[in-house]
Amino acid sequence: MVKNKHFCNRIEMENNKVGIIGSGIMGYGVAIVCLQAGFSVLLYDKYEDSLLKAQKNIENFFEGSVQKNKILPETKTIMLSKIEYLKELSGVRARIVIEAVPEILKLKQEIFQELENYNPDSVLASNTSTIPITRIASVLQKPQNMIGIHFFNPAPLMKLVEIIPAEKTSDITLQKAIEFVNSLQKNVVIVKDSPGFIVNRVARHYYLESLKILEENIANVQTIDNILENCGFKMGAFKLMDLIGVETNHSVTQSLYESYFFEPRFQPSIIQQKKVDAGLFGKKTKEGFYKYE
Ligand SMILES: NC(=O)c1ccc[n+]([C@@H]2O[C@H](COP(=O)([O-])OP(=O)(O)OC[C@H]3O[C@@H](n4cnc5c(N)ncnc54)[C@H](O)[C@@H]3O)[C@@H](O)[C@H]2O)c1
């Protein structure tokens, strides 16, 4: 008997494959969520070391679930047999494809332009944090197939998913996206297309004001985080930036700043820029605002 409560519960669909582009924090996290829901996953990354790291993380995640008695060892084996790690984008042919590459408009556009050749009738989704979906879709032959599906980090834990239909997204694409996210046991919120959508737009000030307090020497990193956690936030701003990836968080701010025509309230932080320049990206590089073992 399969012990995972989500696994195999969903109705089998004609083409059960989900393609994921980019195997970093979000890519491998979303892959885990899809495997848990019974989908087969094609995980593509341009860089072999990223793919290997993702494979290790995914295997460790399911091994951890076995150790915690959340799933049976045979469930883990079945889930791991349902994922393929791909080095060629042309191998990604699936009913739904989710892109999770760095927050760079041109990069995302080029990937979707190539992807739609292999997936002319599939749902093409971006996990972008800030870039308007309409802008990404503007270079596509079939913009009606494109939509935003914005998972949060860590994807296996975070229940909320923003679904963002773009100007030309068809109703059928929207319906398929909602059905897909519901089948992952996540909570869907439909958001109009705009830079940063809702969560990242609001959250920007959590990070930026904390960085300003640090820049003005009012308090240090630990003190600011302690205060935030003590007044009810689950994670202090600096811990959260280290978890997200300092460089990802910074590029999200830059993207929002540009998209809102350089409104000062979204101005990026120099301290954060310095961390990025030094390659101190947070947990993934073992140092960001904190140091990690
Ligand atoms: N980190 C977060 O907390 C978070 C949360 C929600 C959404 N997002 C968004 O998700 C996307 C990915 O973020 P991430 O944090 O997973 O980044 P990441 O840096 O952890 O992963 C990006 C992955 O893309 C790969 N990549 C780079 N260029 C590529 C290319 N040309 N083709 C294929 N793969 C390529 C990298 O090797 C890496 O594995 C971004 O748009 C980001 O804004 C991030």
Cα–ligand 1 centroid distance for 76 (angstroms): 25
Beta-strand pair 123-126/17-21: unpaired
CA geometry: angle at 46 spanning 123 and 185, to 5°? 40
Q: From the alpha carbon of 200, which atom of ligand 1 is closest?
A: 6
* pLDDT (tens digit per residue) in 166-202: 999 999 999 999 999 999 999 999 999 999 999 999 9
Per-residue burial over 247-276, b if 16 or more Cβ lie within 10 Å, else e, is: bbbbbbbbbbbbbbeeeeebebbeebeebb
pTM of the complete model: 0.91
pLDDT of amino acid 15? 73
Beta-strand pair 96-99/160-165: unpaired
Q: Is the dihedral of CA 161, 71, 92, 177 positive or negative?
A: negative
pLDDT surpassing 60 at residue 14 = no
What distance in Å separates the CA atoms of residue 38 and residue 69, rounded to the nearest whole number? 19
* pLDDT (tens digit per residue) in 98-137: 999 999 999 999 999 999 999 999 999 999 999 999 999 9
Cα–ligand 1 centroid distance for 245 (angstroms): 10
pLDDT surpassing 80 at residue 2 = no
pLDDT band at 293 (very low <50, low <70, confident <90, very high): confident
pLDDT of amino acid 1? 31
Q: Which residues are catalytic?
A: 129, 150, 162, 200
pLDDT band at 7 (very low <50, low <70, confident <90, very high): very low
Give the pair of three-digit tokens for residue 137.
């879709």
Give the pair of three-digit tokens for residue 143.
């913009």
* pLDDT (tens digit per residue) in 142-175: 999 999 999 999 999 999 999 999 999 999 999 9
pLDDT surpassing 80 at residue 224 = yes
- Give the orientation angle of helix 246-259 with respect to helix 237-244, to 10 degrees: 100
pLDDT band at 3 (very low <50, low <70, confident <90, very high): very low
The domains found in the chain, sorted by start residue, are 17-190 (3.40.50.720), 200-284 (1.10.1040.50)
Cα–ligand 1 centroid distance for 234 (angstroms): 24
What distance in Å separates the CA atoms of residue 30 and residue 94, rounded to the nearest whole number? 15
Nearest CA to ligand 1 atom 1: 244
Which residue type does 157 have? L
Q: From the alpha carbon of 110, which atom of ligand 1 is closest?
A: 31
| Residues whose CB falls within 8 Å of the CB of residue 146, separated by 6 or more in sequence, listed in order | 112, 124, 125, 126, 133, 136, 137, 140, 166, 168, 169, 173
Q: What is the dihedral of CA 27, 28, 34, 35, to 10 degrees?
A: 160
Q: Is the dihedral of CA 264, 189, 151, 153 positive or negative?
A: positive
Nearest CA to ligand 1 atom 43: 129
